[in-house]
A and B are shown apart, each in its own frame.
Chain A
Amino acid sequence: MRVAQMTMIQALRSAMDLMLERDDNVVIYGQDVGYFGGVFRCTEGLQAKYGSSRVFDAPISEGGIVGAAIGMGAYGLRPVVEVQFADYFYPAYDQIVSEAARLRYRSAGDFTAPITIRMPCGGGIYGGQTHSQSPEVLFTHVCGLRTVMPSNPRDAKGLLIASIENDDPVIFLEPKRLYNGPFDGHHDRPLVPWSAHPLGEVPEGYYTVPLESATVFRPGTALTAIAYGTMVYVCEAAARETGIDAEIIDLRSLWPLDLPTLVASVKKTGRCVIVHEATRTSGFGAELTALVQEHCFYHLEAPIERVAGWDTPYPHAQEWAYFPGPARVGAAFRRVMED
């Protein structure tokens, strides 16, 4: 298959373009998604190519966008809808939790909700309180949902295609800090574009990255760092800068997840650091910590560390004191190695 250099934006667009072409039941809509092509350009050109009955603009109503998608799914369509920022999904929470997640269960399979909800998430862009949040735990806690987050263009395309094809409702979180290039937390250095990164090489045609499959992003022997999204690159920088040979797992599918890959890694290294941008208390890291503890207890040589956003709303001016950068992650790496 031919391979092209793509940003994450282009890779996501390529996935949607392909699925619109392959499956007549795929429809795409959301705020500014149609004519304008999305505020992040992820759907640029799709309306012109497929027409406004397949790709269209929606009123500013997250509950309406998701609620209508559930109805379309019940009809037999496969809607891929966008919530402009993950910070704005809250008005749709009732539809997501009470309806999309439960429809198959409560109707014993009579009706299903094969929908994908795309949401740009994460900080590191001076987005302040309502353009930076990482609400993944509010989805991973909900039975019936799949929560997915890619960290690079190649995974982004393969995971989005797999999500669209999946018959369960999928929350597809896109770290907007990674849209144009990988980011390791060194905000004072120039942006590295995806064109300069091997994971920016994306097959042009159809392929999937299976859900519930984690990947070893960086093999190592000293400790296991479990991360997803932007934090994968932060962990990589922390390993480089501390000289600690960390094995970095990119979860990709947050829930349901690929437990065997995690367990095999922690059993090998005996040490574990869990890293996410989201706030710490009851964050997804707590579930990961519990799972590692349950499954790897007799292999652990140190307490499991969690590096996360502080338990505060996401600040504007204090962005880099809030964002878990390579220095904070590196400090955690050193602590688990000392134990």
Chain B
Amino acid sequence: MSQGTPSLRLHVPEPTGRPGHETDFSYLHLSRAGEVRRPPVEASPADTSDLAYTLVRVLDEEGRAVGPWVPEADAALLRRGLVAMMKTRIFDARMLIAQRQKKISFYMQCLGEEAIATGHALALAPGDMCFPTYRQQGLLLARDDVSMVDMICELLSNERDPLKGRQLPVCYSMKRAGFFSISGNLATQFIQAVGWGMASAIKGDTRIASAWIGDGATAESDFHTALTFAHVYRAPVILNVVNNQWAISTFQAIAGGEATTFAARGVGCGIASLRVDGNDWLAVLAASRWAAERARGNLGPSLIEWVTYRAGAHSTSDDPSRYRPADDWQHFPLGDPIARLAQHLRGIGAWSDEEHEKTQADLEAQVSAALKEAERYGSLADGHLHGAAAMFEDVYEHMPPHLQAQRRQLEQFQKG
């Protein structure tokens, strides 16, 4: 060591809040509602630099919709958004209980993040394809043509599970609803979405792709490949980064979020980027529409960082009280997306407390009925599953001889 030169120190980011210590959310760099400009959809990526460091917001503290990002949306659509969010939250809560009752082996909620997937789903067109992570169930629950019973059968791994019991709960696949098969391997779908968008462009189609990733998974190499390919080929894709501040127990700073934003990565790769209040349903709708219009108009990809907070545990196998303050969500400055949209709708006279309560009760009944119906087809716990022979199917298009032999072996073994 040379004299007079300070010794080097390794910097390991830490969240300000830990169990027993309140989080200082000033790191978020928030903007006031209505404050951030709305560029034309033709904007060049470099012209979105400022938007990567500010925050697009529509709903103010009083629940009024203000500024250039107020979307054209009638009360019926907004009510639909609110109901979709409520349905998602109720679905999650009920499935969490089902997991605690050991009906389901595993579950992951999206508590606090309901606005992002539901708002985005209603900005897309039929035929568009989403490449979700395991925390975008709102993409399915926002759609009236998706059966909750089918979803729950997947969670139960029962005889009617469309995935034949092969996947962990939550790893849905629903091509007809524009919902790509969920993989346990993080970030892999982000580049696949870009490839899907490239394919649509190669064929001269009009459909676009929507890619999804969390803050933690942006550290995976496929995040980088997706941005590079999307930029190089000007792929019609929306690259969604859901920054819920936490990757299991690691704070977003350890994913590379300290003193920067995930939206800024997009600008660095030559992609038009926005940073948006993920708990503001109107902002979600408006930004998603902007990005979809851009993609559909051959104007290139967009990246959107949705700033939100993972209000619940990472999964049913996780206990967040071991690494963050128990009351953290209450202090998160962007609040609760359901409360905020309900406040707005009440403000414009399109919602009431009575309606809220009635809708809540109706949705609870709907989810309970769906669970009850799904349970009629069995569950992992009661052994009503797809037969073991189904295990050998779909590895290849046609079952090769070695798998036929292994299936026979198992059948003979089971016969005894």
Which A residues lie at the B interface, using CB under 8 A? 27, 53-54, 59, 61, 63-64, 67-77, 79, 91, 94-95, 98-99, 102-112, 143-144, 146, 166-168, 212, 256, 259
Give the shortest distance, in Å, between B187 (CB) and chain A (any CB): 9
Is B173 touching A63 in the complex (CB atoms < 8 A)?
no
Give the shortest distance, in Å, between B5 (CB) and chain A (any CB): 38
Is B195 touching A68 in the complex (CB atoms < 8 A)?
yes
Which of A98, A110, A144, A212 lies at the interface centre, i.e. has the most chain B CB atoms within 10 A of its CB? A110
Is B191 touching A106 in the complex (CB atoms < 8 A)?
no
Which of A74, A79, A212, A259 lies at the interface centre, i.e. has the most chain B CB atoms within 10 A of its CB? A74
Is A53 touching B202 in the complex (CB atoms < 8 A)?
yes
- A112 to B175: give the CA distance in the assembly, Å: 11
- A212 to B396: give the CA distance in the assembly, Å: 13
Contacting residues of chain B (289-306) with chain A, CB-CB under 8 angstroms:
none
Q: Which residue of A lies closest to B396 (CB)?
A: A168
Give the shortest distance, in Å, between A281 (CB) and chain B (any CB): 23
Q: Which chain B residues border A108 with CB–CB below 8 Å?
A: 162-164, 166, 173, 394
Contacting residues of chain B (154-169) with chain A, CB-CB under 8 angstroms:
162-164, 166-167
- A sample of 10 cross-chain residue pairs with beta-carbon separation below 8 angstroms, ordered by A number, consists of A27-B199, A54-B202, A67-B225, A68-B229, A74-B195, A77-B203, A95-B188, A102-B183, A108-B166, A168-B396
Which of B171, B195, B197, B222 lies at the interface centre, i.e. has the most chain A CB atoms within 10 A of its CB? B195
Q: Is B194 an interface residue (CB 8 A)?
A: yes
Is B395 touching A143 in the complex (CB atoms < 8 A)?
yes
Is A71 touching B131 in the complex (CB atoms < 8 A)?
yes
Q: Contacts A61-B228, A105-B395 given: A68-B192 contact, CB under 8 Å?
A: yes
- A273 to B167: give the CA distance in the assembly, Å: 41
Contacts A72-B202, A167-B397 supplied; 13 other A-B pairs, CB < 8 Å:
A27-B202, A64-B222, A64-B225, A67-B191, A67-B194, A67-B226, A68-B195, A72-B198, A72-B199, A73-B195, A109-B394, A111-B175, A143-B395
Is A111 touching B397 in the complex (CB atoms < 8 A)?
no
Q: Which residue of B lies closest to A145 (CB)?
A: B396
- A76 to B167: give the CA distance in the assembly, Å: 23
> Which residue from A63, A76, A102, A144 sits with its C-beta under 8 Å from B191?
A63
Is B225 touching A104 in the complex (CB atoms < 8 A)?
no
- A70 to B187: give the CA distance in the assembly, Å: 13
Q: Which residue of A lies closest to B164 (CB)?
A: A108
- A144 to B193: give the CA distance in the assembly, Å: 21
> Which residue from B171, B194, B199, B201 sits with its C-beta under 8 Å from A106?
B171
Q: Is B330 an interface residue (CB 8 A)?
A: no
Q: Which residue of B lies closest to A24 (CB)?
A: B203
User: Binary interface profile of B, 193-227, with partner A (CB < 8 Å = 1, else 0)?
Assistant: 11111111111000001000000000001100110
Q: Which residue of B lies closest to A95 (CB)?
A: B188
Q: Which residue of A lies closest to B192 (CB)?
A: A71
Is A64 touching B228 in the complex (CB atoms < 8 A)?
yes
Q: Which chain A residues border B131 with CB–CB below 8 Å?
A: 71
Which of B171, B193, B194, B400 lies at the interface centre, i.e. has the most chain A CB atoms within 10 A of its CB? B400
Q: Is B180 an interface residue (CB 8 A)?
A: yes
Q: Contacts A61-B225, A63-B222, A91-B221 given: A68-B395 contact, CB under 8 Å?
A: no
List of 9 A-B pairs having minimum Cβ-Cβ separation, nearest first: A71-B195, A68-B195, A64-B225, A67-B191, A75-B199, A71-B192, A107-B181, A256-B400, A71-B196
Is A104 touching B195 in the complex (CB atoms < 8 A)?
no
Give the shortest distance, in Å, between A16 (CB) and chain B (any CB): 16
- A120 to B116: give the CA distance in the assembly, Å: 44
Q: Which chain A residues border B322 with CB–CB below 8 Å?
A: none
Q: Contacts A59-B229, A75-B199, A77-B202 given: A105-B166 contact, CB under 8 Å?
A: yes
> Which residue from A91, A98, A256 sits with its C-beta under 8 Å from B402?
A256
> Which residue from B174, B195, B232, B395 sits with its C-beta under 8 Å from A69?
B195
- A143 to B402: give the CA distance in the assembly, Å: 11
Q: Which residue of A lies closest to B235 (CB)?
A: A68
Q: Which chain B residues border A112 with CB–CB below 8 Å?
A: 397
Q: Contacts A67-B222, A99-B188 given: A110-B175 contact, CB under 8 Å?
A: yes
Q: Which chain B residues border A75 with CB–CB below 8 Å?
A: 129, 195-196, 199-200, 203
Q: Which chain B residues border A76 with CB–CB below 8 Å?
A: 199
- A59 to B167: give the CA distance in the assembly, Å: 33
Give the shortest distance, in Å, between B189 (CB) and chain A (any CB): 8
Q: Is B416 an interface residue (CB 8 A)?
A: no
Is B394 touching A105 in the complex (CB atoms < 8 A)?
yes
Is A99 touching B229 in the complex (CB atoms < 8 A)?
no
Q: Which chain B residues border A64 with CB–CB below 8 Å?
A: 191, 222, 225-226, 228-229
Q: Which chain B residues border A166 with CB–CB below 8 Å?
A: 397
Q: Which chain B residues border A144 with CB–CB below 8 Å?
A: 395-396
Q: Contacts A68-B191, A106-B166, A106-B167 given: A111-B199 contact, CB under 8 Å?
A: no
Q: Which chain B residues border A59 with CB–CB below 8 Å?
A: 225, 228-229, 232
Is B228 touching A103 in the complex (CB atoms < 8 A)?
no
Q: Which chain A residues border B183 with CB–CB below 8 Å?
A: 98-99, 102, 106
Give the shortest distance, in Å, between A168 (CB) and chain B (any CB): 5
Q: Which chain B residues border A77 with CB–CB below 8 Å?
A: 199, 202-203
Give the shortest distance, in Å, between B77 (CB) and chain A (any CB): 29
Q: Which residue of A lies closest to B221 (CB)?
A: A63
